Amino acid sequence: MAEIRINCVTKKFGEVKAVDNFCATVGDGEFVSILGPSGCGKTTMLRMVAGFEKPTAGEIYIGDRLVSSPDKGIYVPPEKRSIGMVFQSYAVWPHMTVFENVGYPLKIKGLAKSEIAVRTNKALDLVHLGGLAQRLPSQLSGGQQQRVALARALVAEPDLLLLDEPLSNLDAKLRESMRFEIKELQKKLGVTVLYVTHDQAEAMAMSDRIVVMNAGVIHQIGDPVQVYETPANKVIADFIGLVNFLDAEAGEGGVKIPALGRTVHAPAGLGGKAVAAVRPENIALAAPGAGLTGTVIHKSYLGDTVDWRIELGGEQIRVIAPASAFQEYSAGDSIGLSVDKVMIFPA
């Protein structure tokens, strides 16, 4: 397999910096996701690793091999980087059977038909498509077509697997199923994976580490627990999961949060205006008069949980709580609340 080292890579389109000073390492056999909103530069970065785009500055290594360096005049084309890539659009050829689609990279390499057959059937078995080898893509579901694309990326036994939002065209239930299949397959093969997505749940469920990007810049690199529980800034707290932002004021005695009626310890270097952040699941419901008291504005039944909108201290907050209390409170009722964890950021 292979390690990826991305050393201070920048990509400009004209005067626009799509990627700005991107520095990260993906360990051998590691699953790393680049997560961020649309237009943040994550796909551009992936395409530079693949070789479909050339960096404006910086260097990219795959294993010990330097594959991109504008300063040194080095550029290795995609077909010589030992990578497999899965695109958002699947990119399967409609006139070829499943077998022909998956075996095509080996045919291009000039392998013998017998070798192509063995390796293609092995790749199809890996993605549970062994019985569909002679079907055309039009005879497959979206999930099956995505498996074809995945098998085709793996059939040449690449050092590195690159995936560009591969599940975004699938329905929610199939997306969830496929994310676990991809992760299990990665574990089984031990292949290094760089995965691009705007879907937080995908990144959290699949990744060993997550690179969070916004506006072309890395904001944080960490494992899923780190980026969710201790986001580096307000931007990440807002993008990863759900969060309530409450007005706050930093002073000598700490950070005062009027809506919560409490003062908390101020992070080092914080002064003046601040904002408090509270995850909806870190707020518990209680009987009126116990702890804080709010007023129910709206509630939505979600099956195992209830999504509450509650007015508290002049601000509206969101609470995700077990469904057991759904029948107890209605719009306009007073409700008790207790807050478990508060994060503080500069305003």
Q: For residues 106-121, give the mean pLDDT.
A: 91
At position 185, the amino acid (one-letter code) is: L
Average pLDDT, the chain: 91
Q: Are 199 and 269 in a shared domain?
A: no
Domain containing 339 — which CATH number? 2.40.50.140
- Domain C-terminal end among 217, 234, 251: 234
pLDDT score for 16: 94
Alpha-carbon Rg for the chain in angstroms: 24
Sign of torsion, CA 53 57 58 61? Answer: positive
The answer on 190 and 75 residing in a single domain is yes
- Per the model's pLDDT, the better-predicted residue between 58 and 82 turns out to be 58
- Counting the structural domains of the chain, the total is 2
Are 214 and 280 within one domain? no
Q: Which pLDDT does position 173 carry in this prediction? A: 82
| Same domain as 330, residue 213 | no
Q: Is the pLDDT of residue 1 over 70?
A: no
Tell me: do 212 and 339 sit in the same domain: no
Q: Is residue 54's pLDDT more than 90?
A: yes
Q: Write down the pTM of the prediction.
A: 0.88
- Report the alpha-carbon distance of residue 141 to residue 144 in Å, rounded: 5
Q: Which residues contact 342 (CB under 8 A, 6 or more apart)?
A: 257, 260, 264, 276, 277, 278
> Looking at residue 143, what is its pLDDT?
83
- The verdict on 209 and 317 lying in the same domain is no
Q: Domain residues for 311?
A: 242-346
Clarify whether residues 210 and 279 are in a common domain. no
